[in-house]
Amino acid sequence: MRRILPDLWETSSDSPFPGLTTHAYLWTSNRNVLFYSVASDAEFDELDRLGGVDHQYLSHQDEAGPLLAAISERFGSTLHAPAAEADRIGVHTRIGVMLTDRHTDDNGVEVIPTPGHSPGSTSYVVQGADGDRYLFTGDTLYRGPSGRWAAGYLPGISDAEELTASLDLLATLVPDVVISSAYAGDSAVHRVDAATWTADVAEAARGLESAAGRNT
């Protein structure tokens, strides 16, 4: 595992599809929170060394798999996942907390439903140790290898109208660091400028309009 911020650790990479890479992220706040999911149990001992996993938050159903049960059994963690995708996620392990609406929970995690990439796609915001706001966008929004921001639109699967509304919501936030799930490029972790964030998300929205064949 690699420490990327004072209270944030990145797991080793997984490549679920050619050209895409994913990581999970352990936020070591007052409780250890794992965002997204790991590809194997290879780093379980390292997670133990860092204090284990108290809670795990999934951004959407594509992160679900057999490792969810292994994480729960090894660390006794509670799984937080979108209720809209409970049928796909719950086959792997018990969902401890169903996520349905925007709120900030007792772990200091702001839960923000951002459907569109998938029906239950959810983003999260937490306050980092140095005062930075970390925004976990899952596959709703990511930065590509060219440096341009893009929406996670899958033709025939994603809902362009819902995804556009979710981008509009993300544009109202003021993050300092944005961390996607899957990404195409060198990293999923990007420091952003509050002055240009709205324009960055608007760029992704324009790309979505083009990809979905929608008119402005």
2-212 belongs to CATH 2.60.120.10: no
> In which residue are the tokens 């972790």 written?
189
In the structure encoding, which two tokens stand for residue 28, read together?
């070591």
pLDDT in tens, 113-168: 999 999 999 999 999 998 999 999 999 999 887 888 999 888 889 999 999 999 99
Q: Where are the domains of the chain?
A: 2-212
pLDDT in tens, 69-103: 999 999 999 999 999 999 999 999 999 999 999 99
In the structure encoding, which two tokens stand for residue 77, read together?
């963690």
Coil, helix or strand at residue 99? strand
pLDDT band at 216 (very low <50, low <70, confident <90, very high): very low
Q: Give the predicted TM-score (pTM) of the model.
A: 0.94
pLDDT in tens, 10-49: 998 776 555 567 789 999 988 999 999 988 899 999 999 9
CA nearest to 55, candidates 33, 27, 40: 33
H-helix or E-strand spanning residue 134: strand 133-138
Q: What is the DSSP letter of 162?
A: H
Pair 151, 204: CB distance under 8 Å: yes
pLDDT band at 53 (very low <50, low <70, confident <90, very high): very high
- pLDDT for 110 equals 98
